[in-house]
């Protein structure tokens, strides 16, 4: 069937590859008509020019008047406004600035009218010719007149199917298109031109409807490709701007993105501050604040402020480009059910031709009318064709892949839709998956007359230069209370014990009990607090000054927002959540209790996690492993489905996992499993419906109760309904929290 066999292997048009080095990219064009944007003149009264620290920003804060044909600069002032040191007096951001339009002659062209609508046009011509032929017969016109109209309907309605069938026949495959063409030609041979033309019209109409329906899936992914602009505003060495194709940008180049524009390429912010809507890439519903040092992704929307960005990846290797490539590959990868259907279809189509031939020949042995026997055989060949069966799996699978991609979830193959639906156990890594992976100070306990501020000041002074995660947590807690670490002298760290800075009475230190004893400090006053906090799964740091114990600081990795709700939703869906972690058992149990996880396996090395996944699979059923895609690689690979979280900017996760959550929003997990289960149920609904329709139509045909036109209508109607049922997966949305 053209609607199935002619489906493109990729439902997403390929974005043209970046230009070869041998072919120079399109020359850059300046933003204004003079080819440069002048710097402001000297400041009056000897004042330092605004933006002296950011000359590149100044260069766009006061652009020259644009000449005709030059690109407009609606939001240029936003960059200056975003960097206080560079803001000119009275400069204002332009939050409503519209994104720069794509230049004419863009390299990414939308499909033309004929490419998008040729099936509909041919269907309309077929219908018009059928109606004209029927009218000619009713008006008593010569038979040749009606035959001309019917011949036109055969050409318009049958050419696409005939071409598809011949291509398949050259590969020694009989497909549904060929069956329909043979049935129409057989009807013409029997003199039933009108019925043959009606067959081709209904078949062509079905294909046109399926083409429009599947275009919704293509558009869902094509929208990803259209996110990234095709040009960027690059900063020259003299601080002026030029508009260049994105493919011409090199790693290290600096570009300016104005308010209201999409970011054209992956990079790192070097100046400016703004909110960036990353929903199209990561699925995050709330814009993320970006400032110097933060990574940004191609295709995301800059909002109120201007940004100066240093390019970190070429256009062909951005996160957006990789996402599109993964989705394209996923659409080519067939589900298990679809592979089985494809294998059966080849044999089935051949069997239909053989059975139809027998149905035409055997009745002749009993003296049946040859015309009637051939007619019944043609009807049988039409109604037994597996069009609806063939489309049963692709429609829901491709729709599910497209829907997931729109929401920041990448399924790296159609097969994983069904494998996700079969999962019984969801195994989680703890650190960075169920928790933030960033320890936070939870308790500050002063001792011996010290104050909370005394404890934090001493700890911050000792940890001032440390890069240890616990040190970062202490420094963050001190900064939150307005404490700046004092410089008390040279810091000395002893791995596994603690750190001290300064000497004598000015020495401050932070460490464990053994470290305190090494410094000659008695930790006994802290033991009740130590035991209490340790039972809560917290890491406790003793803090002192000289030989005086000031108090304790407890640090703990806290659960990720939404983790408890996600675990509860998975449990309601009948899945078993399990925690697999290398952390200490007491720490793991505390986090598991907070999240509602009852099955905990702690203190596991990577190979032990792998064996735990194997054991869970044997005892409870298929396992999905959720991790960060780096240190959980063995377990992710061994699980039936490996799911990596927070993969934005992480190449390893994109390569390791079967399913990738681009953001770190764990609450998207229930949606993934719900979507997969719905898609799999839809596959089986379609199969049962399609096979049931075939059985009914074949039975009526063998009983001599079904005419060719009615058979075609039932056959093609079931195909369209199966297609539309599959497309419902595009409308599946994540459940609301608590629902």
Which active-site residues does the annotation give? 429
Closest CA to 84 of 277, 360, 262, 305: 305
Inter-residue long-range contacts of 468-472, CB under 8 Å, 24+ positions, other chains counted:
468/493, 468/499, 469/438, 469/439, 470/439, 470/539, 470/541, 470/555, 471/499, 472/438, 472/439
Strand-strand pairing, 498-501 and 491-494: antiparallel
The residues, ordered by sequence, that sit 6+ positions from 372 with a Cβ below 8 Å of its Cβ are 363
Closest CA to 723 of 418, 411, 399: 399
- 128 vs 117: CA distance, rounded Å: 17
- 706 vs 376: CA distance, rounded Å: 9
User: How far from 372 is each of 193, 197, 359, CA to CA, in Å?
Assistant: 15, 19, 11
Contact, 587 vs 604, CB < 8 A? no
User: How far from 440 is each of 385, 444, 621, 628, CA to CA, in Å?
Assistant: 64, 11, 36, 20
Tell me the Ramachandran region of residue 102: left when phi exceeds 0, alpha when psi lies from -120 to 50, beta otherwise: beta
Contact, 351 vs 42, CB < 8 A? no
- 712 vs 681: CA distance, rounded Å: 27
Closest CA to 592 of 444, 469, 433, 423: 433
DSSP reduced 3-state for 403:
helix
DSSP reduced 3-state for 32:
coil
Helices 585-595 & 563-572 angle (0-180, nearest 10):
70
Strand-strand pairing, 267-272 and 491-494: unpaired
- 668 vs 409: CA distance, rounded Å: 8
For 281, phi and psi rounded to 5 degrees?
-100, -50
DSSP secondary structure letters along 312-368: -S-GGGSHHHHHHHHHHHHHHSPPHHHHHHHHHHHHHHHHHHHHHHHHHHHHHHTT-
| 291, 294, 297, 301: CA torsion to nearest 10 | -20
Q: H/E element holding 271?
A: strand 267-272
First to last CA, the chain: 42
Q: H/E element holding 289?
A: strand 288-290
| 152, 157, 159, 162: CA torsion to nearest 10 | -130
DSSP secondary structure letters along 443-483: EEEE-TT--HHHHHHHHHHHHTT---HHHHHHHHHHHHTTP
* Positive/negative CA dihedral, 50, 52, 54, 56: positive
Q: H/E element holding 292?
A: none
* Positive/negative CA dihedral, 295, 301, 307, 308: positive
* Positive/negative CA dihedral, 676, 678, 680, 682: negative
Tell me the Ramachandran region of residue 546: left when phi exceeds 0, alpha when psi lies from -120 to 50, beta otherwise: left
Q: Which residues pair with 643 in a beta bridge?
A: 626, 659
Strand-strand pairing, 241-245 and 548-556: unpaired
């Amino acid at each position: 069937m053209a609607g199935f066999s002619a489906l493109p292997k990729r439902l997403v048009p390929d974005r043209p590859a970046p230009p070869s080095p041998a072919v120079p990219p399109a020359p850059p064009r300046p933003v204004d008509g003079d080819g440069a944007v002048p710097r402001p003149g000297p400041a009056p009264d000897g004042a330092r020019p605004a933006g002296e620290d950011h000359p590149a920003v100044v260069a766009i804060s006061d652009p020259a008047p644009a000449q005709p044909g030059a690109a407009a600069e609606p939001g240029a002032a936003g960059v200056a406004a975003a960097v206080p040191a560079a803001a000119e007096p009275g400069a204002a951001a332009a939050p409503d600035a519209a994104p720069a339009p794509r230049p004419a002659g863009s390299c990414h062209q939308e499909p033309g009218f004929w490419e998008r609508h040729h099936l509909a046009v041919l269907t309309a011509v077929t219908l018009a010719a059928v109606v004209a032929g029927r009218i000619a017969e009713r008006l008593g016109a010569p038979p040749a007149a009606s035959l001309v109209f019917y011949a036109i309907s055969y050409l318009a309605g049958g050419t696409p199917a005939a071409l598809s069938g011949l291509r398949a026949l050259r590969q020694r495959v009989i497909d549904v298109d060929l069956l329909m063409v043979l049935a129409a030609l057989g009807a013409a041979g029997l003199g039933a031109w009108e019925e043959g033309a009606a067959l081709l019209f209904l078949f062509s109409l079905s294909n046109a409807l399926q083409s429009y329906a599947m275009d919704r899936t293509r558009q869902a992914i094509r929208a990803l490709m259209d996110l990234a602009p095709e040009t960027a505003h690059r900063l020259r060495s003299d601080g002026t701007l030029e508009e260049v194709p994105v493919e011409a940008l090199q790693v290290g180049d600096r570009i300016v993105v104005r308010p209201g524009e999409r970011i054209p390429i992956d990079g790192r912010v070097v100046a400016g501050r703004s909110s960036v809507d990353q929903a199209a890439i990561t699925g995050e519903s709330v814009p993320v604040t970006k400032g110097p040092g933060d990574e940004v992704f191609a295709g995301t929307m800059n909002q109120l402020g201007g940004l100066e960005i240093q390019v970190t990846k070429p256009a062909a290797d951005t996160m957006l480009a990789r996402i599109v490539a993964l989705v394209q590959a996923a659409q080519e990868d067939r589900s298990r059910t679809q592979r089985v259907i494809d294998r059966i279809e080849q044999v089935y189509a051949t069997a239909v031709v053989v059975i139809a031939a027998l149905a035409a020949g055997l009745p002749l042995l009993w003296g049946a009318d040859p015309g009637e026997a051939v007619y019944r055989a043609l009807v049988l060949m039409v109604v037994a064709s597996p069009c609806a069966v063939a489309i049963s799996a692709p429609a829901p699978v491709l729709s599910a892949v497209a829907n997931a991609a729109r929401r920041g979830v990448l399924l790296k193959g159609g097969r994983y839709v069904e494998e996700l639906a079969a999962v019984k156990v969801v195994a989680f890594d703890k650190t960075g998956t169920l928790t933030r992976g960033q320890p936070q100070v939870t308790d500050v306990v002063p001792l011996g007359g010290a104050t909370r501020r005394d404890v934090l000041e001493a700890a911050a002074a000792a940890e001032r230069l440390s890069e240890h995660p616990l040190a970062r947590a202490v420094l963050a807690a001190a900064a939150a209370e307005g404490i700046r670490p004092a410089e008390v002298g040279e810091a000395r760290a002893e791995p596994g014990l603690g750190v001290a800075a300064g000497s004598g009475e000015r020495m401050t230190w932070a460490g464990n009990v053994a470290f305190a004893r090494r410094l000659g400090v008695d930790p006994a006053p802290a033991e009740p607090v130590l035991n209490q906090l340790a039972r809560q799964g917290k890491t406790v740091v003793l803090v002192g000054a000289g030989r005086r114990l000031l108090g304790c600081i407890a640090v703990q990795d806290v659960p990720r927002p939404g983790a408890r709700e996600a675990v509860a939703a998975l449990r309601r869906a009948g899945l078993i959540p399990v925690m697999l972690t290398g952390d200490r058992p007491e720490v793991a149990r505390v986090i598991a209790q907070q999240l509602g996880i009852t099955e905990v396996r702690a203190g596991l090395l990577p190979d032990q996690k792998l064996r735990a996944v194997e054991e869970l699979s044997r005892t409870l059923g298929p396992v999905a492993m959720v991790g960060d895609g780096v240190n959980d690689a063995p377990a992710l690979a061994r699980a039936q489905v490996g799911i990596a979280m927070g993969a934005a900017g992480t190449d390893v996760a994109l390569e390791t996992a079967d399913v990738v959550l681009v953001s770190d929003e764990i609450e998207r997990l229930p949606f993934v499993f719900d979507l997969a289960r719905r898609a799999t149920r839809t596959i089986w609904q379609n199969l049962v419906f399609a096979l049931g329709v075939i059985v009914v139509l074949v039975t009526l045909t063998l009983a001599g109760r079904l005419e060719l036109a009615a058979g075609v209508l039932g056959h093609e109607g079931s195909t369209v309904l199966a297609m539309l049922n599959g497309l419902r997966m595009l409308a599946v949305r994540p459940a609301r929290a608590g629902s």
